[in-house]
Amino acid sequence: MKGVQIHKHGGPEVLQYEEMADPSCGNQDVLVQMKASSINHLDVWVRQGIPGWKVSLPLIPGSDGAGVIAGKGEGIKDLTVGDKVMIIPNVSCGNCEFCVNGDDNLCNEYGIIGETCNGCDAELAVFHRRNVIPIPKNLTYEEAAAIPLVFMTAWHMLVTKAQVKPEQFVLVLAAGSGIGSAAIQIAKLHGAKVIATAGSEDKLEKAKALGADFVIDHYKEPISETVKQFTEKRGVDIVVEHVGKATWEESLKSLAKCGKIVTCGATTGAEVGLHLNHLFYKHQQIIGSTMATRGELFEIMNFVRQKKLKPVIDKEFLLKDIAEAHKYVETGKQFGKVILTI
């Protein structure tokens, strides 16, 4: 088969589209003929090398994907060759107290496909049975590949961790990102009022089309001051923070009393400052969040089937052009997900 492998860390040029051996199935595995995958910032970090985190190389990247079952292990009874499936990125042991309780994203052996094991960016890929679910009939392969990682992350942040409620104000940073475009929809689904930031007029208009009630050009307007104008000096109840150093101070200043910052990443840097007096005096919370449980993806897909949540696709590339796709993602020009067709 052909696929993409990383043999060493570096720029987009280290993404090698090459011939490799076909994978084989274990007893509880399925072989998937991949039709589409999507690029997340995680793919960029894995390619570049994550400080303090050893990634076993060579590695096939890609956390999200969709395709057709081309083979299966003898232990798989509920799926058949030809079934259309999407990939759940979560990797966990399946047996510890967290996994048994349905909190697989807390497993001590937790990982993500395409980071801790081979991923979706190949013509064929093997996954454990618990990592595939059927694709709803109303979705294309490309749409299915655009959903899991970003929707799971945004759902866990807003619904599970921050417990978003109707009429609350939610600030979504970087609306054009995969997390941002998913978070706007999830917040609106739960009746919240959304303030979204982006860096161009085109992205701001797209954020409005997704449901944002107010928008801020974060290159031209001070976020916290504009938030106070929109909320009559009150501030927001929740900040969906995944940018890190560049926005952290403005995120803190934007919070209302009892407000919550929920963070899942730090694309501009992880070292930030914190004034504790403001935090405890205003009864505010800072909440960390990583991915979601498999069960939460089933909740998400119920709303996708009802067309109350939808994947947002910006641009498609052929798998062989993955280096160009990574370069495009690193420009930050996209609104939503960048897809690789296979």
At residue 265, the pLDDT reads 77
Torsion of CA 213, 219, 222, 228, to 10 degrees: 0
Where helices occur in the chain by DSSP H, the ranges are 41-48, 97-100, 141-145, 148-155, 178-189, 201-210, 223-230, 248-254, 276-281, 294-305, 322-331
Mean pLDDT value of segment 127-143: 94
pLDDT greater than 90 at residue 218: no
DSSP one-letter string for 271-305 = -----HHHHHHTT-EEEE--S--HHHHHHHHHHHH
- Which class does domain 2-147+311-341 fall in? alpha beta
Residues 199-216 pLDDT 10s = 899 999 999 999 999 999
Query: Which has the minimum average pLDDT: 27-31, 44-48, 52-56, 126-130?
Result: 52-56
Q: Over 90: is that where the pLDDT of 245 sits? A: no
| pLDDT at position 305 over 90 | yes
φ, ψ dihedrals at 205, nearest 5°: -65, -40
Using alpha carbons, list the distances in angstroms from residue 317 to 10, 84, 121, 239. 21, 21, 12, 32
d(CA 144, CA 301): 10
pLDDT exceeds 80 at position 244: no
Q: What share of the chain is helix, strand, coil (3-state, %, to 5)?
A: 30, 25, 40
pLDDT digits (tens, 9 = 90+) for 155-181: 999 999 999 999 999 999 999 999 999
**Are 50 and 6 spatial neighbours (Cβ–Cβ below 8 Å)?**
no
Sign of CA dihedral 2, 114, 329, 198: positive
> Which CATH number describes the domain made up of 151-288?
3.40.50.720
Reply yes or no on whether the pLDDT at 71 is more than 80. yes
Rounded to the nearest angstrom, the gap between the alpha carbon of residue 187 and the centroid of all alpha carbons in its chain is: 15
Q: Which residues contact 250 (CB under 8 A, 6 or more apart)?
A: 222, 223, 224
Token pair of 247, please?
């926005």
Residue ranges, comma separated, of all CATH 3.40.50.720 domains in the chain are 151-288
What are the angstrom distances between the C-alpha of 112 and each of 40, 55, 273? 12, 11, 29
Amino acid letter, 301: M
pLDDT tens for each residue of 269-302: 777 777 787 888 889 899 999 899 999 999 999 9
Q: Tens digit of pLDDT for each residue in 89-112?
A: 999 988 899 999 989 999 999 999
Predicted confidence at residue 242, as pLDDT, reads 84
- CATH 3.90.180.10 residue ranges in the chain? 2-147+311-341
Average pLDDT, the chain: 93
Phi, psi of 302 (to 5 degrees): -60, -40
Pairing of strands 285-288, 255-263: parallel
